Amino acid sequence: MPRVVVAAPSSNAGKTSITTGLIAALTARGLAVSPHKVGPDYIDPGYHGLAAGRPGRNLDPWLVGDDRITPLFLHGSRGADVAVVEGVMGLFDGAAHASVEPGYGSTAQLATHLQAPVVLVVDAASQARSVAALVHGFATFDPSVRIGGVVLNRVGTHRHEAILREALGAAGVPVLGAVRRIEDLRTPSRHLGLVPAAERSAEALRTVRALGAVVEASVDLDAVLRLARTAPDLTGDPWDPAAEVTPVAGRPVIAVAGGPAFTFGYAETAELLGAAGAEVVTVDPLRDSALPAGTTALVVGGGFPEVHAGALSANVGLRTAIADLAARGGPIAAECAGLLYLSQELDGEPMCGVLPTTTAMHPRLTLGYRSAVALTDSALAAAGTRVRGHEFHRTTASPAAGATPAWQWNADGPEGFVTGNVHASYLHLNWAGSPMMASRLVSAAARARPEVLSAHR
């Protein structure tokens, strides 16, 4: 699989814009592009997927284990002509966790693991000849990481570009492109980063197409493709969700929350649920007044319910159906945004009322990797199960845990709620790293009674 990793010396250099534009430009050429993102982030893959017309997938060794990185990459790249992998933070920046070595989970580690050349995106807005020292340092810092070329971003004038190219000529790293400052193409942000592509719909598609046009005009795509083809063959087989789970009979229907309020999720979740025997359907809590026919279980992942709290609250029909599903023993798996939606209220707006907690926005960002242990048997995990996940939110739950908590990951005490067949927590998980969760949920769904929804059809 021809492949490149798009990295940068630091965050905010324009990696996502350049990566999205590169994917869009290559796709416009008629190539099937497989988009990937290093790390746990949900938002960037949404733009990648919009540009490629296929799911953007994450590659995060903390969440799924080192041994699954190449198989998951090969799985996501099935049928593609080229793969483009966007990095995270600065090239050599990794997980800040005491249990791993410095640089773990970094873009550099993933590039080395995938034996992929790196395209370094450099923000040139405030520098000239110094760019050569910067690039030279990154190219020589770790011999196992191959910097195959540079894309200069936020270049000012033709003269500025000429100075940058002349300086980099002595650094031995080719310049693959120079992108000018274009303020109109900035993707809007808010409290957790970029606004998800699913929330911007037509506007996001226009932005992606415009980025593609800019990259097409500013970057040597043929040179990028030649660089991608220098990556050696990868050994091993693609990840197979069917090999990770034991299928359950009965084909239970499991609804997965989607739409603009619930945009955070990994593609592997639905694939594992399907492989475990479920019929996976989508429900949009902003628009659907009832759960899909026959639903016996529900998955509510992450997103931005706080932005849509009023509209979510106004959809009384679906809130009531979900509360009834929980009361009748229907399995529900909720994380972060899902916890907010199942709470009594969010910022004063009534929610589903399933959990004995109240949630609200908070000025402090909670962010980081977590190593957690399950405290209570649930539809997702047996007590004592150890998992790796991450937190990413600016909200709080009061109380933070119920009488039978979901997890514990530090000395601050338990977190989350297990009540009946409901499991809710702030912890984000990639089920590819814990596939038994899909098996347990589908098994619980198969045991649930379809008539749980009869009052709402």
The H or E element that residue 22 is part of is helix 15-28
**Rounded alpha-carbon distances, angstroms, from residue 146 to 88, 108, 138, 228, 318:** 17, 9, 10, 12, 52
**Which runs of E-coded beta strand occur in 315-357?**
332-335, 345-346, 349-350
The H or E element that residue 84 is part of is strand 82-86
Asked if 52 contacts 74 with a C-beta cutoff of 8 angstroms, the reply is no
Asked if 334 contacts 362 with a C-beta cutoff of 8 angstroms, the reply is no
Catalytic member of 7, 111, 336, 401:
336
Q: Does 336 qualify as catalytic in the annotation?
A: yes
User: Which token pair is 324?
Assistant: 């009834």
Q: Is 58 left (phi over 0), alpha (psi -120 to 50) or beta?
A: beta
**Rounded alpha-carbon distances, angstroms, from residue 230 to 8, 97, 146, 148, 413:** 20, 34, 11, 10, 50
What is the DSSP pairing of strand 345-346 with strand 295-300?
unpaired
DSSP label at residue 456 = G
Alpha-carbon gap, residue 355 to 339, rounded angstroms: 8
| Residues noted as catalytic | 336
